[in-house]
């Protein structure tokens, strides 16, 4: 018996018009329920972002218009039409630029600094257009928008995005707004990807299944969770459909099969919303990677990192500004901290220790003393009960820490004098953890890369667990920062450090 599909495919190209609709239905992939669920929560989150952006834009532009009306000494009902006109134009241009710069694109919202950069660029462009309008029209209303709405609106939108991210993180902790993912590849690569996904909930993936190329019937145990392998890499699309997954993460491809990814992407049409390729260049992220389209050969370009130039001058200027302001506040706090330290017992208020900075230079790092005066001498008797890995020494209940010192460490107040090290150029506000000379003596080849830039008061290690991190995790985060840091990224780390300090997670 010949089916309609067989009959249609055997006809000449110029098929009858009445056959076009059913033929298209047969060959066009339908959207699976898993993809529809994902699209639904993505639309809900984008609507939330749009509502927050609209409110902040209208509020900041409206405030600027109101200030201008007050300065003109007229009532709102008698206000010249130009103020209302400027308000509407500002809102229209601002919201249009936020849309044109794709600040609510599903690929960037909720994770990373790209979202914040796009918001900043869109806002800057919008007010650049308004500034040109001011020069051409000399409108007083535009001037107030530039002076008031720009800084308030920029800060408001970024803060609104941060609030939305926190809400999204809470939802994902409850199992909502999550992409169900299947990871495929060989065992080692799949384990790496699954562990990375488990350790970073902000990625928004929940691994619901794996497919192992080397042993299809085996299972995987990651972070105490057992995940049974299903199918083979060539049936990944079927496995994704069976498990209700809307994403397939390719940890590695079959050896010698150059067309595997192309075939897989065709098979996933309608079944999954995205195909994710794991980056074999570990810890290379952000602007350093770009896609260079070449006819028939798409190439991924990776910029080789440099450790000097204009970006580092900007970082230094930011360090000077932040440390100068911080030292003023620290100067007010120091008498009270010093009094608390002195009341507990004799000894100096400050503790000075040699640390290794950029290019292996030794400098004296300053801290408020949080341990007994004989802490360095007593260190040797505690090596046997060291709770840290590698060359680090950490104890959750270190007997050398004083009662006042425990409070200082809990909220990182003992680190405040290091802003002087930042001001004089020995440290940076954000950077790798400053190592001891004896730690550096045990470094292998790659760990020396931590010394390519100045150590920091805070860094990725500070916002990712602090003292709870293992030596390998600390090194991994430091090396990632060394190669991929950015000014926007530094500001995000500083902001997140405030939350980590308040929560006091991993502080001892």
The CA-atom distances, in angstroms, between 36 and each of 33, 39, 171, 244, 271 are: 5, 5, 19, 11, 10
User: Over 50: is that where the pLDDT of 383 sits?
Assistant: yes
Task: Give the pLDDT of residue 358.
Answer: 92
Burial class (CB in 10 A: 0-12, 13-18, 19+), 372: middle
Tell me the HSE value of 192 on the side-chain side, using a 13 A CA sphere.
14
pLDDT band for position 386 (cuts 50, 70, 90): low
Task: Give the pLDDT of residue 119.
Answer: 92
Lowest-pLDDT range, 23-27, 126-130, 498-502? 23-27
**Cα(459)–Cα(453) distance, integer angstroms:** 12
The CA-atom distances, in angstroms, between 377 and each of 51, 151, 314, 363, 374 are: 60, 53, 41, 21, 5
Task: Give the pLDDT of residue 97.
Answer: 94
Task: Give the pLDDT of residue 225.
Answer: 75
**Cα(28)–Cα(396) distance, integer angstroms:** 60
CATH of domain 179-281: 3.40.50.720
The CA-atom distances, in angstroms, between 312 and each of 25, 112, 290, 398, 481 are: 57, 21, 22, 38, 14
pLDDT tens digit string along 195-222? 888 877 677 888 888 888 766 667 777 7
Task: Give the pLDDT of residue 83.
Answer: 65
**Contact residues for 458 (Cβ-Cβ < 8 A; gap 6+):** 429, 430, 493, 494, 497
Percent of the chain with pLDDT over 90: 24
Q: What are phi and psi of 222, to 5 degrees?
A: -130, 125
Task: Give the pLDDT of residue 486.
Answer: 85
Q: Which of 213, 207, 208 minimizes the C-alpha distance to 193?
A: 207
Q: Sign of torsion, CA 466 469 475 479? A: negative
pLDDT band for position 14 (cuts 50, 70, 90): very low
Task: Give the pLDDT of residue 455.
Answer: 94
Q: Which of 6-10, 157-161, 216-220, 380-384 has the highest mean pLDDT?
A: 157-161
Token output for 100: 């044109």
Other beta carbons less than 10 A from residue 443's beta carbon: 17
**Average pLDDT over every residue of 167-190:** 86
Alpha helix (H) residue ranges in 72-186: 81-100, 114-137, 140-144, 150-173
pLDDT tens digit string along 131-160? 887 777 666 667 788 888 889 999 999 999
Lowest-pLDDT range, 103-117, 218-232, 326-340, 383-397? 383-397
Q: At what angle do helices 487-503 and 114-137 cross, to 10 degrees?
A: 120
**Cα(164)–Cα(48) distance, integer angstroms:** 8
- Name the one residue in this structure whose structure tokens are 């919202």: 109
Cβ–Cβ < 8 Å for 145, 90: yes
Cβ–Cβ < 8 Å for 360, 451: yes
User: Over 70: is that where the pLDDT of 4 sits?
Assistant: no
Q: What are phi and psi of 68, to 5 degrees?
A: -65, -40
Contacts 24+ apart (CB under 8 A), 472-475: 472/389, 472/390, 474/392, 474/433, 475/390, 475/447, 475/450
pLDDT tens digit string along 389-405? 566 666 677 778 888 98
Task: Give the pLDDT of residue 283.
Answer: 61
**Cα(368)–Cα(337) distance, integer angstroms:** 8
CA angle (501 as vertex; 499, 507 as ends), nearest 5? 135
**Average pLDDT value for the chain:** 81
Task: Give the pLDDT of residue 156.
Answer: 94
Beta-sheet pairing, 179-185 with 247-250 = parallel
Lowest-pLDDT range, 42-46, 289-293, 410-414, 449-453? 289-293
pLDDT tens digit string along 279-332? 666 566 656 676 666 666 667 777 777 788 888 899 999 999 999 999 999 999
In order, the DSSP letters of 137-158 are H--HHHHHIIIIIHHHHHHHHH
Token output for 180: 């169900």
Task: Give the pLDDT of residue 59.
Answer: 94
**Average pLDDT over every residue of 48-57:** 94
pTM above 0.75, yes or no: no
Q: Which residue has the higher pLDDT, 39 or 84?
A: 39
pLDDT tens digit string along 406-443? 888 888 899 999 999 999 999 999 999 898 888 888 88
Task: Give the pLDDT of residue 1.
Answer: 41
3 state SS for 409-454 = HHCCHHHCCHHHHHHCCCCEEECCCCCCHHHHCCCCCHHHHHHHCC
Task: Give the pLDDT of residue 246.
Answer: 87
pLDDT band for position 18 (cuts 50, 70, 90): very low
**Average pLDDT over every residue of 470-486:** 83
Task: Give the pLDDT of residue 19.
Answer: 46
Tell me the HSE value of 431 on the side-chain side, using a 13 A CA sphere.
27
Task: Give the pLDDT of residue 504.
Answer: 65
Task: Give the pLDDT of residue 387.
Answer: 58
Task: Give the pLDDT of residue 5.
Answer: 38
Residue 102 backbone zone (phi > 0: left; psi -120 to 50: alpha; other: beta): left
pLDDT tens digit string along 93-107? 999 999 999 999 888
Lowest-pLDDT range, 78-82, 366-370, 463-467? 78-82
User: Over 70: is that where the pLDDT of 479 sits?
Assistant: yes
User: Structural domain boundaries of the chain?
Assistant: 33-173, 179-281, 310-375+386-503
Residue 123 backbone zone (phi > 0: left; psi -120 to 50: alpha; other: beta): alpha
Task: Give the pLDDT of residue 242.
Answer: 87
């Amino acid at each position: 018996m010949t089916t309609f599909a067989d009959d249609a495919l055997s006809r000449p190209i110029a098929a009858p018009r009445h056959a076009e609709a059913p033929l298209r239905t047969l060959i066009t992939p339908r959207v699976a329920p898993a993809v529809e669920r994902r699209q639904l929560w993505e639309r809900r989150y984008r609507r939330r972002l749009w509502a927050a952006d609209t409110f902040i834009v209208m509020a900041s532009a409206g405030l600027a218009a109101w200030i201008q009306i007050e300065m003109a000494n007229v009532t709102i009902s008698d206000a010249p039409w130009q103020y209302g006109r400027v308000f509407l134009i500002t809102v229209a241009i601002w919201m249009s630029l936020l849309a044109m710069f794709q600040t609510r694109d599903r690929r960037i919202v909720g994770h990373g600094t790209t979202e914040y950069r796009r918001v900043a660029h869109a806002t800057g462009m919008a007010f650049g257009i308004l500034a040109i309008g001011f020069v051409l029209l000399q409108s007083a209303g535009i001037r107030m928008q530039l002076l008031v709405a720009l800084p308030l609106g920029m800060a408001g939108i970024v803060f609104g995005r941060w609030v939305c991210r926190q809400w999204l993180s809470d939802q994902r902790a409850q199992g909502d707004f999550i992409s169900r993912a299947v990871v495929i590849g060989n065992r080692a690569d799949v384990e790496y990807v699954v562990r990375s996904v488990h350790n970073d909930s902000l990625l928004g993936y929940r691994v619901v299944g794996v497919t192992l190329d080397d042993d299809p019937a085996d299972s995987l145990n990651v972070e105490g969770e057992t995940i049974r392998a299903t199918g083979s890499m060539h049936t990944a699309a079927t496995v994704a459909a069976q498990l209700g997954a809307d994403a397939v993460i390719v940890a590695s491809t079959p050896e010698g099969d150059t067309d595997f990814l192309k075939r897989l992407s065709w098979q996933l049409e309608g079944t999954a919303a995205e195909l994710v390729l794991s980056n074999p260049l570990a810890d290379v992220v952000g602007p350093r990677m770009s896609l260079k389209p070449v006819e028939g050969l798409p190439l991924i370009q990776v910029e080789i990192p440099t450790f000097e130039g204009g970006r580092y001058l900007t970082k230094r200027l930011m360090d000077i500004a932040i440390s100068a302001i911080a030292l003023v506040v620290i100067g007010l706090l120091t008498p009270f901290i010093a009094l608390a330290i002195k009341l507990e017992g004799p000894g100096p208020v400050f503790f000075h220790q040699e640390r290794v900075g950029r290019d292996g230079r030794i400098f004296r790092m300053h801290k408020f003393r949080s341990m007994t005066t004989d802490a360095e001498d007593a260190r040797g008797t505690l090596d046997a009960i060291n709770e840290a890995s590698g060359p680090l020494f950490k104890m959750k209940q270190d007997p050398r820490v004083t009662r006042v010192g425990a409070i200082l460490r809990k909220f990182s107040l003992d680190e405040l004098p290091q802003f002087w090290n930042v001001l004089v150029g020995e440290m940076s506000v954000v950077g790798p953890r400053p190592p001891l000379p004896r730690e550096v003596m045990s470094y292998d080849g790659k760990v020396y890369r931590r010394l390519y830039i100045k150590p920091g008061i805070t860094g990725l290690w500070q916002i990712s667990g602090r003292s709870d991190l293992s030596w390998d995790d600390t090194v991994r985060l430091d090396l990632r920062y060394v190669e991929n840091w950015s000014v926007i990224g530094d500001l995000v780390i500083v902001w997140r450090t405030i939350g980590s300090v308040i929560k006091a997670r991993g502080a001892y």
